[in-house]
Each structure stands twice: as structure tokens, then as C-alpha cells.
Amino acid sequence: MTNDAPIVEDELQAYVDGRLPEARRAAVDAYLARHPDVRERVALEMRQRASLRGQLDSKFAEPVPPRLWVANIQAARRATMTRRLKGVAAGVLLFAVGAGTGWLAADRPGAVSASAPLATTGVAQSANAAYRTFVVEVAHPVEVASAQQAHLLQWLSRRLGKPLVAPDLTPYGYTLMGGRLLPGDGSAAAQLMYDDASGKRLTLYVRAAEGSETAFRFQREGDAATFAWIDRGFGFAVTAPVAREELMPIAEAVYRTFGSVNSSK
Amino acid sequence: MTDPGPLIEPHIPALRRYAFALVRDRDRADDLVQDTLERALSRWLLRRPDGDVRAWLFTILRNLHVNAWRRDRRHGTAVAMDEVTMPAVAARQEAAVEVHDVLAALDQLPEEQKSLLLLVGVEDFSYDDAARILGMPIGTVMSRLSRARQRLRSVVETGKVALLRRVK
């Protein structure tokens, strides 16, 4: 931009805002000196700009009221979130229940995928990480205890008009301890935790996942064995510190729970 | 997770100032800021980590304001902003003061023009940032700004005319 280029309206606006490049300021000044009508208009706009700022100065200087303190808003949010998370954990499972249809038709429930499909692996790994984090937890293994969860599952089922269940694994010696909500891969994930008489813990992990695979994928990390599968946008993983043969029927039972609930509607 | 508090807190006085200029009511302005902060905290992890927190907060506040305004209009409690004309200023008894009350005159402008003048003229956002906050093409900011200032001048001018007529 040269210094003798004609002055355009955009530059006058930038002049009003004090944002005109230094190199052009003299040219605009000279232009305004030659055009008193424009000069008067620009001066008025500058006065109005200044008085608007002036009128709002006192608002800016006011002390921030306590209800707008971030710490206070965070505290209030934590209180409502604790209540809400309990509902969401059950809600994620609800969607999982609906996702089981057609699973059996597409493949035998016992079929184990020979390849290592990426999406299933992702679910298995997330489930495993979540398992490792919370299975050792003594004070707070679950966020929502099973008693409370039963109430929430019922409440959500009624409210949404869709069946919602936590799989019954008592035939395998595992009873539901409760559940928690976790961050999933870009969405929420739910972890239900079960334990048996000896205190051995098993988790069922559910989250939204890409892909339409239907076969089980087995994975072992240390002593934790995981069966994971994906169906219609949801990933499931069952993890426990047991042998593959022991875990397989449990994974099938979990599948059957979702499948039967869905088909009985 | 980093505590969002220290990154958000420095901008609250400016958010209150913008909100107050938009709604012109002390409590409703702070309601708007509170909604903004709640929204910001709930989406803290979803924001662009390299993004400008200040511009992000102003975007949230402005969107909440516009959405609330649209809701009000559906329920018939507000006047369409494009159709707002002069009666408010002309009807005021203290019209002599109004001539210099740019904040009141600003109320006669469509929301977009009002926001643009506030973001650029008071909050010192760059033209590009203001365009992004308001969701307008960057290339149109300067001409919109020019029109907004022209309209503000004419509102103040009309207020003056109304005053003179009343005094006679």
C-alpha cells in the first residue's frame, strides 16, 4: 500500500479504531484536512466510540459478584454432575442393549476373530485400561453402587420406554457391585463392575465405537483377559483375571442378555 | 486436566461489560455471564486447545444471547431487531441527556451491528476476531462496521431532532 493511494472507507474505519497502519496515517490526515465534511464525520465517530467505552468503564471496574466466580460455578457443577453421571452411566448401557440385534444372525457368538480388527482392539485396550485403574480401587471401586443403580436402570427404562438391564452374572459367581461413567473415545463409556465371593473382580465396558464387526476378539494383558466385540456402533468388553475358557461363557452370557432383552420387546 | 479457572477468570469483567451493553439489565447481564461460564466449563475439553480463550468465551456469550433473543421472539416478548426504530429514545423524558448517551442509542441498532461496535470499539478485538465471534465473513467486517457507525450516528441525530421538536 503506497502513501498516495486513494483513501477508502475501510481505512477511515481503521482510523477511527486507531488500527490504521502507521504508513497510511499521514495520508488519511491530509485527506481529512481537504474534506471537512468527512473530517467532521470521522471525529464524531471517534467521539461516540470513546463515549461508549467511557459509559461502560464503571461496569468493567465493578468487583465480580461471587456467583460468577469460577470456583463457585465449578463447585455447583460438580454437585449436579455427580447426580447426572449416575444417570448417564445407565444411559450408555441402554443404547448398548439396543445394539445387540442381529449379532447372532451375523456370526456364531463363539467365533473368535483371527485377525486383530482395529476398532475391537481399541475397545479392548480402553476396557483394559479402565479395568486396571479401578479393579485395584479399594475405597471407590464403583461410582454408583448396585442398589442405587437398579433404581436408576428402572427409572431410565420407564422414562425412555426402552429396556435397560445389567447382565446377571450370578450363574458364574459374579454379583454386580455398581458402575461408573468414563471418558470414552470421543464419547462416554460405562463400566459395570462385578465381583465374586473371593473378591475377584470382573468388568463390563461399553462405549460407542466405529465398525460393524460381530466376532469376539480375545486379548490378554498380564493376568487380565478381555473379550471384546463391536456391534452396530457399540463396543463391548468383558475383562477379568481368569483363563480364556472361563471368560468365554461369561462374554456369551453378556451378549445373550442384550440380545434377548432386545428381541423380547 | 489443567484448571480452567486461571484462564477464564481474567476475562470475566469484560464479559460482564459486553453482556450489560447487550441486555442493559444488571441481573439479566450477570445471568448471561453465568450461563456463559457454565457452558465454557462444560465444554472446556472440547475447545481448540491452541485457541484464544477470550474470543471463545465471547463467542459463547454472544450465541447464548442471540439464542435467548430468538426464543423470546417466538414467545412474542420482544421486538424483531431489524424493525426496531426510534420510539424508545424519543419517548424518554430526559432526551437532552440521551443525545450524548451512546449506550442507549446503541440499543436502537440491530444486534449484529451492536455487537460489532462493542467487540471492536470497546473490547478491542481485531477485525478478524470480531468477524469470527459474530460468524460473519471476514471480508465484510469493514463495510458492516461502517454501516453500523453510520446508523449509530443517525440514531443520535434523530434523537437530537426529536428533542428539538419537543422543546419548541
At A12-30, the pLDDT tens digits run 999 999 999 999 999 999 9
> Which residues in chain A are contacts of B54 at CB distance < 8 A?
none
Domain regions of chain A by residue span: 1-12+23-62, 83-263
More confident residue, B165 or B68: B68
The whole-number average pLDDT for the span B22-50 is 91
Domain regions of chain B by residue span: 1-78, 82-168
d(CA B18, CA B109): 15
> What are the DSSP calls for A142-176, one per residue?
-SEEHHHHHHHHHHHHHHHTS-------GGGT-EE
> Which residues in chain A are contacts of B156 at CB distance < 8 A?
48
d(CA A16, CA A78): 46
Q: B 124-163 residues with CB below 8 A of A?
A: 126-127, 142-143, 145-146, 149, 152-153, 156
CB contact under 8 A, A68 and B34: yes
pLDDT on residue A256: 77
Domain B82-168, CATH among 1.20.120.1760, 3.30.300.30, 3.30.360.10, 1.10.10.10: 1.10.10.10
Q: B 84-113 residues with CB below 8 A of A?
A: 100-103, 106
Asked if the model's pLDDT at residue B112 lies above 80, the reply is yes
> Which residues in chain B are contacts of A38 at CB distance < 8 A?
none
Between A12, A52, A71, which is nearest B121 by CB? A52
* Cα angle B26, B32, B36; round to 5: 145
Question: What's the pLDDT band for A262 if we cut at 50, 70, 90?
Answer: very low
CB contact under 8 A, B102 and A70: no
ipTM of the modeled complex: 0.82
Owner of C-alpha cell 481529512? A32
The whole-number average pLDDT for the span B152-159 is 87
- Asked, colleague to colleague, whether B1-78 and B82-168 share their fold, the answer is no
Give the CATH architecture of domain B1-78.
Orthogonal Bundle (1.10)
Give per-residue pLDDT as tens, B129-145: 999 999 999 999 999 99
Query: In one letter, which amino acid is A143?
Result: E
CB contact under 8 A, B145 and A70: no
The whole-number average pLDDT for the span B95-108 is 72
State the helix-helix crossing angle for B141-167 and A36-61, rounded to 10 degrees: 90
CATH topology of domain A83-263: Phosphorylase Kinase; domain 1 (3.30.200)
d(CA A243, CA A185): 28
CB contact under 8 A, A59 and B16: yes
Report the residue of chain B nearest A59, measured CA to CA.
B17
Owner of C-alpha cell 465374586? A196
Between B102, B143, B149, which is nearest A55 by CB? B102
d(CA A162, CA B125): 49
More confident residue, A223 or B116: B116
Between B21, B37, B118, which is nearest A68 by CB? B37
CB contact under 8 A, A13 and B100: no
> Which residues in chain B are contacts of A53 at CB distance < 8 A?
121-122
CB contact under 8 A, B9 and A41: no
CB contact under 8 A, B102 and A52: yes
Question: What's the pLDDT band for B121 if we cut at 50, 70, 90?
Answer: very high
Between A51, A62, A67, which is nearest B102 by CB? A51
Q: What percent of chain A is modeled with pLDDT above 90?
A: 28
pLDDT on residue A236: 84
d(CA A85, CA A111): 35
> What are the DSSP calls for A50-110, one per residue?
HHHHHHHHHHHHSPPPGGG-HHHHHHHHHHHHHHHHHHHHHHHHHHHHHTTTTHHHHS-TT
> Which residues in chain A are contacts of B103 at CB distance < 8 A?
52, 55-56
Q: What percent of chain A is modeled with pLDDT above 70?
A: 65
pLDDT on residue B101: 87
Asked if the model's pLDDT at residue A43 lies above 60, the reply is yes
